[in-house]
């Protein structure tokens, strides 16, 4: 069942045209899969009113089914302070291990853990240099060797050194390529034996689609891991692969890599993830809807031109929120707008609009340059967030939320805009 749903979702995420028809095709296929697996689509809810919206019902069933698939209800490892926690990364070359181990180290470091990195990739020339550069930038102590060629020895040396120096978290980066695949798996086992990690994390490239299933199964069989991190979820649709990896290994995803920057690591939330995945199909209809309401607004036109080009500035985001506020009751709109349902989840119409109004206060406290930016300026200078929170009478948390919402929308605009057909369509609509 999982496989069939995955492939239906994948067809959707792979299709060039994320339109109503593609979405309907997916729902049909999933509905058939559910029925053939004896899941009674109708038994999942109480007696139906006569005029039930079938699409909504199926959508909900699919949603719950997908959430169940990506949430194995296994508790991932939680490091404890005051004792060494050894974390080992495994995964194929290019998956994002070296990038992600610095991100994770930084994540723990900012939470008060004394954290260090060990480079046990002796296969690739330059691997140690790359880790060294990242670690230096993030001010994280590191260990590696330019002369020792046995990765298990380097790993053991590094871990022993940092244990002696009473580090809380020691992250071991490994190689991902060998002349032969067996050699790689043997090496992973040897390193595991040498450092006895408290946690092994599989790093998976989110753009590899269904290959995630066999890849994660192969690692599971040799270098047993207890958690997964999916990288590169910023550029492409990463849904199907992630779901397959979890389904094949019953191992929880703990983080998502959302960009090349050190800060681009997000905690994995099954519900939000699936919402985003399914919400994608509605981007085109959202564009149409917003367009209909803001037909004669020139700034709205600017925004659509931007989206068509794959650009989405903070000002574009402000424009969209303003349009949404003009559209009427939020309850009618959420579900159609992936970001919005995240934003106003659990709020009634009144609290929801209040939240949007507070967002407008935040936008209004930004400078013109900040509004026209892609938001990176806030990552580089977090003090700007404090200034804006003060100026708008909101909290830094709210400013952060708004910026992360913007990043998500910008990622979507990039995807949609990158597709030529979409671009043409958006232009025709202007």
In angstroms, the CA 62 to CA 2 distance is 11
| Size of the chain in residues | 430
State how far Cα 147 lies from the chain centre.
Answer: 37
x/- mask, ligand GDP, residues 149-178, rule CB under 6 A, reads ---------------------------x--
Judged by beta carbon, residue 97 or residue 236, the one nearer Mg ion is 97
Between residue 78 and residue 137, which ones bind Mg ion under the rule CB under 5 A? Answer: 97-98
Q: The tokens of 151 are what?
A: 């990765």
| Residue 234 touching ligand GDP (CB under 6 A) | yes
With CB under 6 A as the rule, give the number of residues binding ligand GDP: 19
| Residue 231 touching ligand GDP (CB under 6 A) | yes
| Residue 91 touching ligand GDP (CB under 6 A) | yes
Give the one entry of ligand GDP, Mg ion, none that residue 13 binds, where binding means its C-beta sits below a cut-off of 5 to 8 angstroms depending on kind: none
Helix, strand or coil for residue 224? coil
Tokens 């397959």 belong to residue: 244
In degrees and rounded to multiples of 5, residue 352 shows phi and psi of -60, -45
**Which member of 258, 334, 344, 392 binds ligand GDP (CB under 6 A)?**
258
Q: The tokens of 80 are what?
A: 């404890």
In angstroms, the CA 122 to CA 127 distance is 7
Give the one entry of Mg ion, ligand GDP, none that residue 235 binds, where binding means its C-beta sits below a cut-off of 5 to 8 angstroms depending on kind: ligand GDP
Give the one entry of ligand GDP, Mg ion, none that residue 99 binds, where binding means its C-beta sits below a cut-off of 5 to 8 angstroms depending on kind: ligand GDP
| Residue 232 touching ligand GDP (CB under 6 A) | yes
Between residue 198 and residue 237, which ones bind Mg ion under the rule CB under 5 A? Answer: none
Judged by beta carbon, residue 357 or residue 376, the one nearer ligand GDP is 376
Q: The tokens of 62 are what?
A: 């699919």
In angstroms, the CA 205 to CA 63 distance is 23
Q: How far is the CB of 389 from Mg ion (least distance, A)?
A: 38
Q: How far is the CB of 238 from ligand GDP (least distance, A)?
A: 9
| Residue 98 touching ligand GDP (CB under 6 A) | yes
State how far Cα 296 lies from the chain centre.
Answer: 35
| Residue 342 touching ligand GDP (CB under 6 A) | no
Count of helices and strands (H, E) across the chain: 21, 8
**Which member of 76, 235, 375, 391 binds ligand GDP (CB under 6 A)?**
235
Q: The tokens of 305 are what?
A: 């031109």
Alpha carbon of 10 to those of 15, 22, 30, 278, 361: distances in Å? 8, 11, 11, 11, 39
Give the one entry of ligand GDP, Mg ion, none that residue 415 binds, where binding means its C-beta sits below a cut-off of 5 to 8 angstroms depending on kind: none
**Which member of 8, 97, 280, 352 binds ligand GDP (CB under 6 A)?**
97
Alpha carbon of 334 to those of 150, 238, 321, 363, 414: distances in Å? 55, 23, 13, 21, 22
Which residues of the chain form contacts with Mg ion (CB under 5 A)?
Answer: 97-98
Which residues of the chain form contacts with ligand GDP (CB under 6 A)?
Answer: 91, 93-100, 176, 231-232, 234-235, 257-260, 264
């Amino acid at each position: 069942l999982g496989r069939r749903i995955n492939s239906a979702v994948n067809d959707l995420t792979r299709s060039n045209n994320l339109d109503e028809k593609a979405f309907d095709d997916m729902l049909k296929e999933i509905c058939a899969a559910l029925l053939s697996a004896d899941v009674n689509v109708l038994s999942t809810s109480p007696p139906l009113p006569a005029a039930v919206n079938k699409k909504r019902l199926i959508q909900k069933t699919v949603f719950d089914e997908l959430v169940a698939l990506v949430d194995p209800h296994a508790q991932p490892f939680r490091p404890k302070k005051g004792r060494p926690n050894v974390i080992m990364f495994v995964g194929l070359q290019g998956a994002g291990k070296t990038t992600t181990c610095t991100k994770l180290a930084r994540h723990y470091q900012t939470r008060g853990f004394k954290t260090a990195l060990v480079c046990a990739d002796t296969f690739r020339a330059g691997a140690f240099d790359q880790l060294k550069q990242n670690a230096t930038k993030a001010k994280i102590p590191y260990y590696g060797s330019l002369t020792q060629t046995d990765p298990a020895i380097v790993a053991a040396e590094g871990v022993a050194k940092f244990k002696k120096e009473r580090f809380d978290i020691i992250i071991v980066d490994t190689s991902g390529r060998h002349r032969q695949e067996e050699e790689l798996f043997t090496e992973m086992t040897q390193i595991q034996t040498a450092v006895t990690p408290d946690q092994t994390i599989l790093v998976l490239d989110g753009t590899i689609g269904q290959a995630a299933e066999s890849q994660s199964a192969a690692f599971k069989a040799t270098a047993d891991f207890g958690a997964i991190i999916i990288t590169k979820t910023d550029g492409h649709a990463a849904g199907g692969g992630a779901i397959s990896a979890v389904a094949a290994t019953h191992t929880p995803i703990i983080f998502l890599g959302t960009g090349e920057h050190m800060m681009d690591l997000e905690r994995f939330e099954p519900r939000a993830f699936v919402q985003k995945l399914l919400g994608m199909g509605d981007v085109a209809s959202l564009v149409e809807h917003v367009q209909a309401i803001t037909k004669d607004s020139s700034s709205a036109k600017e925004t659509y031109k931007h989206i068509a080009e794959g650009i989405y500035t903070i000002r574009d985001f402000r424009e969209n929120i303003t349009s949404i506020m003009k559209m009427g009751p939020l309850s009618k709109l959420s579900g159609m707008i992936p970001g919005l349902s995240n934003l106003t989840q659990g709020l009634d119409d009144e609290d929801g609009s209040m939240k949007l109004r507070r967002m407008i206060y935040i936008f209004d406290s930004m400078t013109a340059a900040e509004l026209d930016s892609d938001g990176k300026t806030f990552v580089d200078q977090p003090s700007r967030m404090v200034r804006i929170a003060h100026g708008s009478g909101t909290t830094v948390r709210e400013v952060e939320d708004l910026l992360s919402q913007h990043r998500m929308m910008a990622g979507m605009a990039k995807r949609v805009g990158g597709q030529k057909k979409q671009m043409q369509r958006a232009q025709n609509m202007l």
